[in-house]
Amino acid sequence: MTCGGTDVPMSEDNEVLESSDVIDSSDDVVMPSDEKMIFAESIFTRLEPPSIGAIPAMIHAKAKTVGGIFAGYAVFWWLTVLQVNEKTGFESIFFGPDFLTITILAPCLVFVGSLFSDFSRELGQLFPGLVSGVMFVLAILYTFEPAIMGLAGDLETGDALWKTFRLAVLCFTVYMAAKLLIDAWLLVWVKEFISKHPGIGYSDSLDENSPAVDAVTEPEA
């Protein structure tokens, strides 16, 4: 049996249509850009998840740790700052904030600076790295300014060191929480990236400690 006025058999014509449908469906698969592939591979290389199935557990563990760190931060700040009567007043020479304001400002500078620093590293951008450097320097100045003023005789030494110790603990705590939070966010991005692109597979490289993200290619007919 032939189709219409052509000499092509009906079965062969159906095979041609089916093959064209397969080609069209394969053309509809949208592969991610090279930038996203490189970004995902860099996350795998740095965080080293043992498998794709382990990513949700890693996100959960990091998020839970961040929550615990922030809870401890709040308790420490409440007990050592709000519940303590300061012996002497303190105002920074850098824009004039008092000690209570600095206990909020310095950790915020560390947190935002950590975000900009990691974005600059992962995305390869210049401006966020410059901003993070300025923020880290200001946070360090605010943290160690009381101790320096105590050594210079402008503040009582014990009180000055106590102020610097509290600021150092608050800033370091926020720094650790920020790093874990950024790692968790990157893992969430990779998880969504893989779910949106089923053609992306996770495979180990020759070195088992260096995972990578590869595109799954269709075998040639």
Model confidence at 2, in pLDDT bands (50, 70, 90)?
A: very low
Residue 74 counted as domain residue: yes
Q: Which residue has the tokens 């058999």?
A: 9
What are 2's strand-pairing partners? 9
* Cα–Cα nearest to 135, from 165, 105, 92: 105
* Alpha-carbon torsion angle 203, 206, 209, 214, nearest 10: -30
Residue 162: pLDDT over 70? yes
**pLDDT tens-digit map of 197-218:** 666 655 543 344 444 444 443 4
Question: Between helices 157-196 and 126-151, what is the axis angle to 10°?
Answer: 160
Give 52's contacts (C-beta < 8 A, 6+ positions apart). 194, 202
* Type of residue at 73: Y
Q: Round the CA-based radius of gyration of the chain to a whole number and report it.
A: 28
What are 214's strand-pairing partners? 201
Out of 29-38, 45-54, 172-181, pick the least confident: 29-38
Residue 212 counted as domain residue: no
Residue 89 counted as domain residue: yes
Q: Pick the residue with more confidence: 220 or 185?
A: 185
Q: Pick the residue with more confidence: 93 or 116?
A: 116
Q: How high is the mean pLDDT of the chain?
A: 75
Residue 125 counted as domain residue: yes
Q: What is the pLDDT of residue 173?
A: 93
Q: What are phi and psi of 201, to 5 degrees?
A: -115, 155
Compute the distance between CA of residue 64 and CA of residue 122 in angstroms, rounded to an integer: 23
Model confidence at 64, in pLDDT bands (50, 70, 90)?
A: very high
Residue 117 counted as domain residue: yes
Residue 22: pLDDT over 90? no
Give the mean model confidence (pLDDT) for residues 181-196. 83
Q: What is the pLDDT of residue 30?
A: 61
Residue 143 counted as domain residue: yes
Q: Which helix (H) or strand (E) holds 211?
A: strand 211-215
Q: What is the pLDDT of residue 85?
A: 74
Compute the distance between CA of residue 177 and CA of residue 65 in angstroms, rounded to an integer: 8
Reported pTM: 0.69
Residue 123 counted as domain residue: yes
* Type of residue at 78: W
Domain that holds residue 123: 52-193
Residue 163 counted as domain residue: yes
Structural domains in the chain (count): 1
**How far is C-alpha 1 from the chain's CA centre?**
64
* Cα–Cα nearest to 211, from 101, 53, 97: 53
